Amino acid sequence: MHFLSAADFSSEIWERVVHRALDMKAHPDDYSTALGGRSIGLFFAKPSLRTRLSSFVGVAEMAGHALVVSQEQIGVGTREAPGDVSRVMERYLAAVAMRVFEHATLTEFAETTAMPVINLLSDAEHPCQAVADVVTIAEHRPLEGTVLAYVGDGNNVAHSLILAAQRTGMNIRVSSPEGYEPAPEFVDAGGGAVELVRDPAAAVAGAHVVYTDVWTSMGDEAHAGYRRSDFVDYRVTPELMARADTQAIFLHCLPAHDDEEVARDVIESSASRVFDQAENRLHAFKSILLECLDDGGTR
């Protein structure tokens, strides 16, 4: 199966993938031959640290072979049509995971191949990150009834978190400046699990998890100046965290900008789980990959 969107996994699959990721973290040796020598393609059109390392290491830890290629090397959509590239890749690879600019690249891949296609990030969603986020929350508290406050840009990360919350029993409050709300189709898909709250203090009040992301995503750097002005009241500070539940944790998908969306004191605080979250990208990817290869029930 493909994993282009957090919505591609049902509630049942979400539960299985999260549980298996936690088991992989606790018992990695149980999955050390899970790929059995299969080759997995890793395509990057954008810079990456956590995504590149976690996917490459994840394949290696399950006895697979990772082939990393870049946009500069193969020219998807420039040198060759995405659909042609996918049909070539499926002759060599068991699956391909892709970090791209445009979500349409992923959908064209998926429409032209039965080989699993996994979204490592697109302009629409970041579903692998959302799985790692849910795994991190599950390490801290039961998912059912958890209130997650997302403060900042209603971007691809927010979109996937909304869909994840709706499928895992969480409630998510999204607090963004006017004009930066999540896309309406994702808010609609989130149903009763999502609430848009303009005031960040109100959004964070009593929340079990406080989450933020960069104010300016890759590709939007030309707008960084006025974005800083628009988001000035949406910075996660110790004072804002104090409004959350006394046992609340802080999450950030990284990289973080200390002078913008979050104070360094928050990242270094006892509430912060950002580096656990980064580690969990590894376990989440491994679990997602096995699910997409239809090996979800095997060990």
Q: What is the pLDDT of residues 87-146, one digit of tens each?
A: 999 999 999 999 999 999 999 999 999 999 999 999 999 999 999 999 999 999 999 999
Q: Which of the residues are catalytic? A: 99, 126, 129, 213, 253, 281
Closest CA to 156 of 196, 133, 126: 126
Q: Which domains, from first to last, does the chain contain?
A: 6-126+280-292 (3.40.50.1370), 127-278 (3.40.50.1370)
pTM summary value: 0.95
Report which DSSP code applies to 49.
S
* pLDDT at 295 > cutoff 60: no
Q: What is the pLDDT of residues 211-246, one digit of tens each?
A: 999 998 766 677 678 889 999 999 999 999 999 999
CA-CA distance, 215 to 257, in Å (whole number)? 9
Tokens 């070539």 belong to which residue? 88
CA 59, 64, 70 angle in degrees (round to 5)? 60
CA-CA distance, 235 to 169, in Å (whole number)? 27
CA-CA distance, 235 to 189, in Å (whole number)? 27
Six-digit token string for 146:
């958890």
